[in-house]
Structure 1
């Protein structure tokens, strides 16, 4: 206790005060949060093999609650809001099987309520969430197991021992793959009258109901991150565990939507990660065929080890080749005894009683998710990503006093007032810009703005260059005003909206109020966040588009307009 701060002591004490002290023979009372296929699957094993009482259910879709109750406990209580379940003092632990963007918020809320947690992978939906969940779990003292069940397969533990004992020599390359078939384009049937769509969205950008986004959320950036977090994160966690190296130094990748354009995430990818212990990991995956499923191949100087969920095989470097395949005869084959999720759930339940560290704790699970996130960023940016990124510091672009560092198109149209840049005209036949002297390539740009009375049109240019015509720039613009709030527009180049903000997100805005923009540009990947809502998540696919240029503020041609900007700052990404 001496090492706890007062705040940490209070937080830990608060969580413990809600927790029931379990004896060796006490039956664990579990709540299921997210009663879809995977959540129910895990809960079934907790009941069947661990004798858990699945006492309560929380889900936003009533048919899923009904189905889970029928299978697991017809008398269990049902909740449409997971917070109601967490507030119950008679629930010892929860299984979280929600979409990815809910994993950290639900886990943080659960441990704060004194619950032990089994949460599906990936633990995080972004790199930034990692520190949040690690700190919350450590302060709470709760047991949190993440659904990387490979760590609980006995034959995978045996593979780890073989590799760490040097059985296949020095490993320089690890090949991983996972293929599935998502070619079915039949639209999902969802009874919207029984669905809490706004609760599904959570902190994601508001938008109209979409059956694909709800039922296939893994393939939309607001809720999942495609094959890398869904599948690859399983394998990379296994590689980290076996190799004893969990933070890569570099990530490269390619990905495309070749045949499944109705999803946002790529259907075919390849990623390569480099690690400090001098080995590389590659991942290839396609969602257009299930041929060969998934697996890992560790290539060493003395042999090769193939690892899958059903088995391991060891092939010696010096051995007898099959004349047709050139694959050597295995000297060791070990089959899995049963599905690893069973032992993973039992490990979690045992740790709840012993208070020991579970097989897949939050720290290693954050590392696995980060590797997947960096792989996605490499794919979307088209850049090699140095990991972890060593970003620059936030620097002001506006000093709050004058227009030093900026170039005016029309002197007198732009001014400084009360710590704000003010753009104002009473009627113009052309657009007008206030431009930075410096150019920027990869960055995060943050600012606040207000369009007075919500009238007219303005915008924030970035990666823009001067046109030959006066009062013109061409490049990307985070648009402001009219029907364009939160949109990405290509000013004077392609002259079109590249990404439209969802209408429900714009409808809630106070058009006359202050708002915030955060624009992130990294290689080909551009995001725009308006008042905390990510309204644009765009990957540039057209060749030859400039990725470096000016930042500029715009007042649009037309009737009179007044727009204010303040707290303009930038962080360059390196």
Structure 2
């Protein structure tokens, strides 16, 4: 009997008994045919169903063994999704090998789980990431990885101190139009990089004051709130009931997220940092303005922000009620623009669109997809393509831009100290949000 037959057989036997199981990778030893890595999924909303579950389950040598969510309906839907995937893949009449857990601490603390995929609301990312790092669990974390610069620094430091492999889960580095443009810039085909212009997609119309509503019976609302203040439940604060295909409502509430500057920001700011060869630093100056709706959905909209780097490169980003996503790199000799998702590239030099790297040049054409990159990094003992430190640096650009819009005027940023110079008010806004005592970041 080969390994797959053993695993499938064991799963079928336990399925007949109505018992999901987790078979630890250690059972098979280092010389197992695929050296299986067991993955636990924390958070089973839109990103989990739309990308994280199906992509991760297709990586060779990976097994989804547990799904975790504070919403029981979403969790059982995810369990059925996983079980159906493996039954179809392995030609089984039934599969019941995926467990459920409503408390993320049981997943992080399970010694039989090797890797975590964190796809929760943004306000939970850092507490879970630090707990995972302390438990020596490798993980991928959905961007944005934090809701403050100070929080992001705490997470990046914990990952480094604990020696785990952790990846910022953004797929933009794996999209060929995006990495091709960066490749051309880094290889000097636009001349000297001078400026970068970013446009973000528009936001939905903010919703106003909402009535208090009964908490759905399937939702552990207190656990959903976690480290944030206790407030009455209303659907537009959380996510649509018994629905996982729509953008969640919490993305527009600044207690739990930071809006489009932090949603698409980690994609585009990371690409810009990569192109500018400044992944471990950041700009030195920022100014901007934006609108802050007085409503339940109160994250910043309709903004324009300007940045300047120490090397002279300038960067702008903006959002309007009708804007569509793009990033443009302007060099001394040419410009390259990537529109939309996954991206369509245009250039003032059309010959660049088909240019492939020459010997000795940077070549990103064989970049692994994000989930494959994480697993390869774990197996090979290397850094993933976008480690947490790099993801933190990209996100912090959006976060200091958000602060600049709140404070007004030109702010001077020290990327080494991660602090503003001579502006105590702006510095205070870098702090980690206050936590309820039971979830305090210590």
> Shorter chain as normaliser: what TM range?
0.7 to 0.9
**Structure with higher strand content:** 1
Partner of 2:333: 302
Distance in 2 separating the partners of 1:524 and 1:103: 21
* Matches for 1:490-501 after TM superposition, within 5 Å: none
CA deviation profile, 1:537-564 (whole Å, cap 9, x unmatched): xxxxxxxxxxxxxxxxxxxxxxxxxxxx
Larger radius of gyration: 1
Distance in 2 separating the partners of 1:241 and 1:528: 26
Partner of 1:119: 141
Length-normalised TM-score, structure 1: 0.59
Shift of 1:341: 11
Partner of 2:185: 163
Q: Specify which of 74, 94, 108 is matched with residue 86 of structure 1.
A: 108
For the 8 Å contact 2:413–2:421, the answer to whether it is kept is no
Shift of 1:213: 1.8
Distance in 2 separating the partners of 1:31 and 1:257: 37
Q: What is the DSSP-based 3-state SS (H/G/I as helix, E as strand, rest coil) of the residue aligned with 1:128?
A: helix
Distance in 1 separating the partners of 2:68 and 2:436: 27
* Matches for 1:402-421 after TM superposition, within 5 Å: none
Distance in 2 separating the partners of 1:381 and 1:184: 22
1:382 aligns with 2:408: yes
For the 8 Å contact 2:70–2:223, the answer to whether it is kept is yes
Q: Specify which of 311, 315, 318 is matched with residue 348 of structure 2.
A: 315
1:32 aligns with 2:37: no
* Deviates most, 67-76 or 374-383: 67-76
Shift of 1:377: 0.2
Change (3 A) 1:341 1:207: farther
1:227 aligns with 2:260: yes
Change (3 A) 1:88 1:220: same
Change (3 A) 1:162 1:522: closer
Shift of 1:530: 7.9
1:253 aligns with 2:288: yes
Distance in 1 separating the partners of 2:203 and 2:399: 22
Change (3 A) 1:526 1:263: farther
Superposed CA RMSD: 3.2
**Structure with higher helix content:** 2
1:65 aligns with 2:75: yes
Shift of 1:244: 0.6
Partner of 1:145: 167
Distance in 1 separating the partners of 2:387 and 2:232: 36
Change (3 A) 1:525 1:152: closer
Change (3 A) 1:310 1:528: closer
Q: Name the count of aligned residue pairs.
A: 369
Shift of 1:523: 11
Distance in 2 separating the partners of 1:138 and 1:166: 33
Partner of 2:218: 194
Shift of 1:176: 0.5
Q: Specify which of 366, 385, 410 is matched with residue 392 of structure 2.
A: 366
In structure 2, runs of 5+ residues without a counterpart are: 1-23, 85-95, 240-248, 356-365, 438-442
CA deviation profile, 1:441-475 (whole Å, cap 9, x unmatched): x64xxxxxxxxxxxxxxxxxxxxxxxxxxxxxxxx
Partner of 2:351: 331
Q: What is the DSSP-based 3-state SS (H/G/I as helix, E as strand, rest coil) of the residue aligned with 2:120?
A: coil
1:47 aligns with 2:80: no
Distance in 1 separating the partners of 2:230 and 2:132: 25
Partner of 2:19: none
Change (3 A) 1:46 1:103: same
Distance in 2 separating the partners of 1:304 and 1:355: 37
Q: Specify which of 257, 262, 275 is matched with residue 309 of structure 2.
A: 275
Q: Specify which of 241, 250, 258 is matched with residue 217 of structure 1.
A: 250
For the 8 Å contact 1:253–1:378, the answer to whether it is kept is yes
Distance in 2 separating the partners of 1:370 and 1:285: 18
Q: What is the DSSP-based 3-state SS (H/G/I as helix, E as strand, rest coil) of the residue aligned with 2:232?
A: coil
For the 8 Å contact 2:411–2:421, the answer to whether it is kept is no
* Matches for 1:174-185 after TM superposition, within 5 Å: 174-183=196-205
Q: What is the DSSP-based 3-state SS (H/G/I as helix, E as strand, rest coil) of the residue aligned with 1:73?
A: helix
Change (3 A) 1:19 1:101: farther
Partner of 2:363: none
Change (3 A) 1:214 1:244: same
Distance in 1 separating the partners of 2:152 and 2:30: 29
Shift of 1:94: 0.7
Shift of 1:306: 0.9
In structure 1, runs of 5+ residues without a counterpart are: 1-17, 317-329, 393-441, 444-520, 534-574
Distance in 1 separating the partners of 2:383 and 2:238: 34
CA deviation profile, 1:343-384 (whole Å, cap 9, x unmatched): 111111111111111000011111111111100101111232
* Matches for 1:99-110 after TM superposition, within 5 Å: 99-110=121-132
